Amino acid sequence: MSRYRNLALFVALAGIWGTAFVAISAGLEYFPPVLFAALRYDIAGVLMLAYAAATVDDWYPSGRDEWLLVAVGATLLIAAYHAFLFVGQQNTTAAAAAIVVSLSPVLTTGFARVLVPSDALSTVGVAGLLLGLVGVGVIAQPDPSNLLTTDVIATALVFAAATAFALGGVLTRRIDAALPIETMEAWSMLGGALLMHGVSFALAEPIEPSAWTHPEALGALGYLAVVASAIGFLLYFDLLERLGAVEINMVSYVAPVFAALVGWLYLGEVIDVTTAIGFGFIAAGFVLVKRKALREEFGYVRRRTSSE
């Protein structure tokens, strides 16, 4: 029963995070991108803070290391990731954005190996990282004579988002702070939202509240804030504890399927062959980088299944 529960929650999380890319595309018709991301985390941060206050004792960071952890989360995991993603997704499909973001686990491993020299990537691991980067190039389809086309810049911005998220994930693991994950997420969301409001103001993004009351705009914002952020992160950390980092990383490779399907049904987006090929390169890169952990994980799953 536990195995089926985990599978159901895994598929639910992949569906939630995959369709979040569609909600972003839908909401960008009504909100300026950075302000849209900031409003999302205004709501999600308040919800997560209320949850943290109700479930953990240490709901408020204290000490230099705990605030440093929150600062990294707010800057890289929330502000940089979402600002780049929302701006980039204005000119790319939900599926393509989800596929480029699925490179995050590969980049995370690369950053971890760089920041810990004693744990350097092997030749096969480097090949896997390069395969992932090739996949992004295939999706972007850059023209050497004109590298500043809208599509290429959009893909580069989404790649920057994945890079920021990967680096943030590695740095938060390196900071020695015993802060409950609920507290870290809540304050990172609020801090990230504040940073994005500052960026939005600096960019002089237009503020048109009349457009925000459209049912589709409210639906996209509500879905992203409540379902994709608050509920999605709770599912993620529950599964992280139950399944481990390798299995939960596979969410990144299932989410684009939901993004492509719902994007096609709701927005009329079509995923082309080159985008699918690019995803294949990224997935192959993940397998090469994580090959040892995958072997161990599959061996564990087989032993656990045979004993039940």
Mean pLDDT of the chain: 83
**Per-residue pLDDT tens for 271-304?**
778 878 877 887 887 777 767 766 776 676 666 6
Q: What is the C-alpha to C-alpha distance for residues 148 and 135, in angstroms, rounded to an integer?
A: 19
The set of residues, in sequence order, having a beta carbon less than 8 Å from that of 73 and lying 6+ positions away, is 168, 172, 184, 185, 187, 188, 191, 192
For the cut 60, the answer to whether the pLDDT of residue 1 exceeds it is no
CA count, 13 A, side-chain hemisphere, 89 = 36
Q: What is the C-alpha to C-alpha distance for residues 252 and 273, in angstroms, rounded to an integer?
A: 20
Q: Mean pLDDT across the stretch 90-94?
A: 88
Q: What is the C-alpha to C-alpha distance for residues 162 and 133, in angstroms, rounded to an integer?
A: 12
Report how many domains make up the chain.
1
Q: Mean pLDDT across the stretch 157-181?
A: 87
**Per-residue pLDDT tens for 197-235?**
999 999 999 988 888 999 999 999 999 999 999 898 888
Q: 156 is in which domain, residue-wise?
A: 2-307
Going by C-alpha positions, the residue among 246, 285, 279 that lies closest to residue 260 is 279
Bridge partners, 143 (sequence order) = 146
CB 81 within 8 A of CB 44: no
